[in-house]
A and B are shown apart, each in its own frame.
Chain A
């Protein structure tokens, strides 16, 4: 169909006021060479479609979109939730598709997939040849949430560990696995501590409502940032919890009821998080929460820190391509903003 002709004709009879049909130019790069650079997982449209992974070269000058489907000629799956490295491989979790695609981390060529034994998978982490996947289970069932244990030689789920509602983020310290249980579509406030040598839960620690991120400080303490509940679940304020990993003793830093922080990151031993359109900075040795905004006027869907830089994703209207903005965390200067796929979330560094 020739749009231009139609426009000319329509204009001739004086009905249409404007005719435009411009397409944005996208420059594609040669595929298959992703040894050094940044991967960004894009969740993709919610109802129907596939998430994608974008690749950004180390110097931020080259961007390549939808690299998994380019290299492997297939879709990653619906709602690409997260990605995780283990040795030469990368594990990409597609939530609604109940699927983990395993690719070579430098070429993105598909090696294998895990499809059995998952139900609403969220995050993946590997400890010594064993994979752990947080799963919400059936969202109508509040007691079937679990961590799937995967044999990474055969890529099959060999057992599961029952955990409280809404297991999400995973963080490893030696042989200990920490899981935030944030409540899936409801709310929760638990951290499960799992011994990876026995695959059993050793203890459960209570933190703030809806924990969303975790980091270790240089002294080995586990810090958990919780957003607090939104209004429709009975609004509560966020909380930052410092957990002594030896004694599991908790010290809480409470936010105001209307404050809902997220995206706890660490750089050079200093914490950063975002809240209400600003980034805050906190030294783990501080006795109180910071009151001053470190960088103002930023609102990210997700925020990641790495080697002196802050990477913030913007999902825009959730129905178009989002962006990744990169800031120098010391000078606070914006370095670049790059177009990503639909709902960019996780940022991962292949170094």
Chain B
């Protein structure tokens, strides 16, 4: 049944989406079953606008089974299952995405509706996310600053926890052991009744990460890491009209930063991230009001030498308060949001960093006819540091026939300068302005039987990009000096077939990306011209076999295109056997072989990636 929900393209009828939720949570929606769809969406998902205001937007939702069979790392999950290119500073280390040829600061990470990119660096380190911790992970391509704020330019990654108001008590325990003494433990527990939903999750990942460098007498030194993560989710209906929701997430990271082929390392990095969100939702007739209170905290300690007590640090506290009002008139929905954000940063190299930010957003969507739906939205931020631009987005989809759907969107987006850019001791530049982007895309979705093909062409024009360059006196300072354009084509193919007890699913993606510095007409660093990813999944009764492949074109590592890192092809192979299947207990055993052909490759220059390696998994559901 879950297989049905493997891919939710938003262009699918909203009703289908609703039905999907009904299927997933069965009778759990009884409390609100006489109410409108906008209310039902909100009960399950705090970030309900992700799907509601998305006519014409390309969204890919990753299935539970995909997350289940994935590696312990979020990076691997994305690079094998999306067109996003990720570069890792060695396996398990700092990982940054390039979405549609943009850089890591142009990918917003959104946790239960809240943008969690660090105010210090403007990005999220994908090495610190654990996929098993979220109930639903979605990739939204293209500009999304109106809805999700600073940095949603290449696209955004959505990490959502769901609440199920139905009578249930489910537990999932997942354990893995693999090469380089890699161990992971994931536990997830969920309890629910008609008025109460509770969820608890815990993840622990550790690895010596000391793999041999293929073809060399060197191994990955100082690469060990330990990650610990907790999350708590709760929802309670005080009455039919009043729902209180809580989401919390705490992450502890303790990583050594591995060396390179030419430089040893004894660096160490410790960080803690906590995220808390409290929401009070009031349901009315065809309308909904929501008060939101959130607190984000991050702190890092960087040890240049792990054997010494000295470290440099940075920490940020963010408080968000928001009011959200949604109203539907038949097929037309309007959503107004008012948010206040207060950010305070401290650190060894930061001068007094504070930001007050007010945001006003208006979103509208209209399902004009069965075939045609469109939306428009507008946002304005008032930030104490600088003037922020007025943001706009227009999007729509038109279903020409049962097998052809046309989608388009255009938007203006922004990225605010980070605290490091503004307040770095001796270098911070208070004259910076936000980066802005104008972007447009055109998508076509073809569906024939069990096969679908989605083709998307995009164009991004990025202005006032912030780069650190030496000034006249040789000091490195951030400046709004780069302009770039990104354009390309993405193809996503999906094919499913079932016969008897056999199930087959093929998933593939190809991305062609040009990302060009306008001044030099050269391709930007670490943007592959081509990236191809594919997976094939076959199951028969209690057996499941899968393979994943990734083809990465070469990337330039100098701005004059004089040096490049060769392309690579990496293939993984894995399988599961459901050894025990009782009413209240199911037990799955799995084996996964990563990099089965022992490809020698580097994601970042001079940092070789792992050779062939193994992972044994046990998944118990009870």
Q: Which residues of A approach B to under 8 Å, CB–CB?
A: 1, 3, 6, 10, 13, 15-17, 19-21, 23-24, 45, 47-50, 75-78, 94, 96-98, 138-141, 230-233, 260, 276-277, 299, 316-321, 342
Contact = CB atoms under 8 A, between A and B. Distances in A.
Contact of A140 (B308, B425, B459, B512): B308
B263 interface: yes
Nearest to A20: B521
B472 A276 contact: yes
Contacts of B37: none
Given A1-B529, A49-B262, A230 B475 contact: yes
Nearest to B606: A48
Given A48-B260, A50-B262, 12 more contacts: A10-B489, A45-B558, A48-B262, A48-B606, A76-B262, A96-B262, A97-B264, A141-B308, A233-B426, A276-B472, A276-B473, A342-B558
23 contacts: A15-B459, A16-B489, A16-B514, A23-B561, A48-B261, A48-B604, A48-B605, A48-B607, A77-B263, A78-B262, A98-B264, A138-B305, A140-B310, A230-B426, A230-B473, A260-B473, A317-B469, A318-B469, A319-B525, A319-B558, A319-B559, A320-B560, A320-B562
With most chain A CB atoms within 10 A of its CB, the pick from B459, B562, B604 is: B562
B304 interface: yes
B457 interface: yes
Nearest to A10: B489
Contacts of A139: 304
Contact of B487 (A15, A23, A75, A78): A15
Nearest to B304: A140
B487 A1 contact: no
Q: A-B pairs with the 10 shortest C-beta distances?
A: A232-B426, A320-B560, A78-B263, A15-B457, A48-B606, A320-B559, A78-B262, A96-B263, A140-B310, A48-B260
Contacts of B373: none
- Do most interface residues of chain B lie in helix, strand or loop, or is the interface mixed? loop
A1 B262 contact: no
Contact of B261 (A19, A23, A75, A233): A75
A24 to B, nearest CB: 7
Contact of A321 (B261, B457, B473, B562): B562
Contacts of A342: 558, 563
Contacts of A321: 558, 560, 562
A1 B530 contact: yes
Nearest to B564: A23
- Do most interface residues of chain A lie in helix, strand or loop, or is the interface mixed? loop
Given A141-B308, A319-B558, A48 B473 contact: no
Contacts of A13: 457
A10 B514 CA distance: 12
Interface string B566-607: 010000000000000000000000000000000000001111
A316 B520 CA distance: 13
Nearest to B266: A138
A316 B310 CA distance: 34
A219 B426 CA distance: 41
With most chain A CB atoms within 10 A of its CB, the pick from B262, B473, B525, B562 is: B262
Contacts of A141: 308, 310
Interface in B519-558: 521, 525, 529-530, 553, 557-558
B132 to A, nearest CB: 30
Contacts of A1: 529-530, 553, 567
Nearest to A318: B470
B427 interface: yes
A21 B514 CA distance: 10
A6 B475 contact: no
A277 B470 CA distance: 13
B308 A138 contact: yes
Contacts of B607: 48
A77 B606 CA distance: 11
A242 B487 CA distance: 59
Contacts of A260: 473-474
Nearest to B553: A1
Given A48-B263, A98-B264, A232-B427, A3 B529 contact: yes
Contacts of B442: 15
B100 to A, nearest CB: 13
Interface in B253-270: 260-264
Nearest to B487: A16
A161 B36 CA distance: 80
Contacts of B473: 230, 260, 276
A231 B260 CA distance: 33
Contacts of B553: 1
Contacts of A76: 262
B92 to A, nearest CB: 16
Contacts of A276: 472-473
A305 B530 CA distance: 47
B262 A75 contact: yes
Contacts of B89: 48
Contacts of B472: 276-277, 299
A259 B558 CA distance: 32
Contacts of B475: 230-232
Interface in B303-335: 304-305, 308, 310
A232 B425 contact: yes
Contacts of B459: 15
A122 to B, nearest CB: 15
